[in-house]
């Protein structure tokens, strides 16, 4: 029955210009500037064998913001963003954004009711939300749309054009962590002709020291750390790791994690949830629940100095 819902949902979004990712419940609409509006169906941990519970996530991904993340993670140009990468994200609920946001289908009657309600809510909200794909609208209405995050939106859009006086003013007044990433990107904005966009892994700062001994570098870094944590401690784990690498972990990161572990399974290589923490160094955190328990397996990947890897190992032992 849920597959029936997804098919109807996909057909409705197609009418708004969205394309569905093959084999996934992710839908994207691209702007002429390369920005992406994403609609994603996310399973909830409250789902059972007789009831499918899910969320409808919506997010705006700005091209320069995503390009900066993609470079730091060394991802290929073909990699597409998810809702967790949005500079703005919310959920479509029963009445308003982020209000009554958990949908459930358990029988034919609820399938019909949920399908009707979702269709109505999508038709009510998407036309307004899709205005975010117009950059002129973003500049004019940034404060109303994003509140305290408005400076980031304006800064990322300006960064795509290179250094500028207004950009420097915004970065000077903004949070140091986010400002650093934006300033770094503005010095080398997106260039479709650039050979560095061919998917090669970006050189990390410690790798650029040509005078250091490569054998010593290999022994001073670790590519991965793994362990386990209680499910209730996962948010605390991510916040602590973020603090170690200077990444600003906020409510949007926490929202992206909500319900994300519901369909994970640490006994399957294809059933892990991945989440990037864009600090220095950038890290990719892999999470998956152990079947029948509240324990979450954790694997943190990145080029980590020994001291950072040790701190993460210790944290996993404590949580």
| Tens digit of each residue's pLDDT (9 = 90 or more) over 105-115 | 999 999 999 99
Q: What is the DSSP string of 159-180?
A: HTT---HHHHHHHHHS-HHHHH
Which residue in 278, 291, 298, 279 sits closest to 233, CA to CA? 298
Q: What values do phi and psi take at 153, rounded to 5?
A: -60, -50
Q: What confidence score (pLDDT) does residue 87 get?
A: 86
Cβ neighbors of 282 (< 8 A, separation 6 or more) are 69, 72, 73, 245, 276, 302
Q: Which of 256, 253, 275, 272 is nearest to 264 (CA)?
A: 272
Q: pLDDT of 225-284, one tens digit each?
A: 999 988 888 988 998 898 888 777 877 777 778 888 888 888 887 789 888 887 777 888
Give the pLDDT score at 190: 61
Residue with tokens 């209000």, as numbered in its chain: 99
Share of the chain above pLDDT 70, in %: 87
Cβ proximity of 250 and 40 under 8 Å: no
**By C-alpha distance, which of 31, 50, 53, 32 is closest to 41?**
53
Asked if pLDDT for residue 216 goes beyond 50, the answer is: no
Q: CB–CB of 81/30 below 8 Å?
A: no
- 232-246 per-position pLDDT tens digit: 889 889 988 988 887
Whole-angstrom Cα distance, residue 42 to residue 51? 14
Residues 214, 205: Cα–Cα separation, whole Å: 14
Orientation of helix 63-73 relative to helix 150-159, angle to 10°: 80
Evaluate the CA torsion angle 150, 154, 157, 163 in order and state its sign: negative
């Amino acid at each position: 029955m849920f597959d029936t819902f997804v098919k109807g949902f996909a057909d409705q979004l197609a009418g708004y210009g969205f394309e569905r990712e093959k084999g996934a419940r992710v839908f994207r609409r691209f702007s002429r500037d390369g920005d992406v509006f994403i609609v994603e169906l996310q399973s909830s941990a409250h789902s059972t064998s007789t009831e499918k519970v899910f969320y409808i996530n919506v997010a705006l991904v700005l091209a320069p913001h995503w390009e900066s993340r993609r470079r730091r993670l060394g991802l290929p140009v073909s990699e597409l963003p998810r809702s967790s990468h949005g500079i703005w994200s919310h959920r479509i609920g029963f009445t308003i954004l982020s209000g009554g946001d958990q949908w459930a289908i358990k029988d034919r009657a609820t399938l019909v009711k949920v399908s009707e309600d979702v269709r109505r809510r999508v038709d009510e909200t998407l036309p307004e939300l899709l205005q975010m794909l117009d950059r002129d609208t973003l500049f004019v209405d940034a404060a109303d749309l994003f509140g305290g995050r408005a400076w980031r939106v304006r800064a990322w859009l300006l960064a795509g054009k290179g250094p500028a006086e207004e950009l420097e003013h915004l970065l000077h007044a903004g949070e140091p962590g986010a400002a650093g990433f934006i300033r770094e990107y503005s010095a080398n904005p997106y260039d479709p002709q650039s050979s560095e966009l061919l998917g090669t892994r970006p050189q990390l700062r410690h790798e650029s020291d040509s005078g250091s001994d490569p054998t010593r570098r290999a022994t001073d870094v670790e590519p991965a750390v793994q362990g386990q944590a209680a499910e209730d401690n996962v948010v605390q784990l991510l916040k602590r790791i973020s603090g170690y690498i200077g990444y600003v972990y906020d409510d949007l990161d926490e929202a992206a994690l909500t319900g994300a572990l519901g369909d994970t399974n640490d006994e399957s290589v294809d059933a892990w949830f991945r989440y990037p923490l864009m600090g220095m160094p950038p890290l990719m955190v892999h999470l998956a629940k152990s079947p029948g328990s509240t324990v979450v397996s954790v694997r943190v990947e990145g080029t980590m100095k020994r001291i950072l890897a040790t701190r993460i190992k210790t944290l996993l032992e404590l949580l």
